[in-house]
Amino acid sequence: MIGTIFNTSTILIGSTVGSLFRKSINEKQQKVLFDAMGLAATGIGINSVVGNMPDSKYPVLFIASLAIGSLIGNAFDFDAKFQKLTDKSGDSSLGQGLSTAILLFCIGTLSILGPIQSALNGDNTYLFTNGTLDLITSMVLASTYGIGIAIAAVVLFLWQGAIYLGASFLGGFISPDFMTELSVIGGFLIAASGINILGIKQFKTMNMLPALLVPAAFFLIKSFLP
């Protein structure tokens, strides 16, 4: 768990440092940071989709996943519950920033394979690399949205911790094909967060998160078929 603890710590440190800079940033500069984060998130998302879609062996799976996942999320209305929770902080934009942070920190190859490598081989290279990237990202996010971004560190710890503890099962379950499909769907969700920040269209990204469970269910069922 050393790698996960390191990754969690870098987000906490980055969020703290970034929030201190926020106090000296005026409204115009904050708008520039919002635009920069929106473009960055959109670009990262598009890169994940474009980079992985050519390798997809199930080209319709991401469409079904987004549709089914969104219907499930909408039924439970995770977005409304999440926004209500973050609005208690007094910062109406925190929910948007936090949902983006969670997607950026948790939905990626390094964040998923890292704890598996750590559990099975004692190799924390992926997590150390991911932690370094998250340090910079959390600083920029916190300078825009405030110290509340640090909450994403708790989500990351639980996410990677669960993968680490279940690595004996997940190690054989997570195939390159599964990672490809997950990366495509994750890319769409990250791009949607970027579009939200830019104000082009407002997607309820928290309601779309169950889409990530659909490929997991698909490959699990597929493993039991002859």
| pTM score | 0.76
> What's the full length of the chain, in residues?
226
Enumerate the domain spans of the chain. 2-224
pLDDT profile of the chain (226 residues), mean per 10: 92 92 77 82 88 92 95 89 65 73 79 81 85 86 86 91 78 77 87 85 87 90 81
Widest CA span in the chain? 62
Question: In sequence order, which ranges of the chain are alpha helices (DSSP H)?
Answer: 2-22, 27-52, 61-76, 78-87, 94-106, 109-121, 125-145, 151-165, 167-173, 176-198, 205-208, 213-224
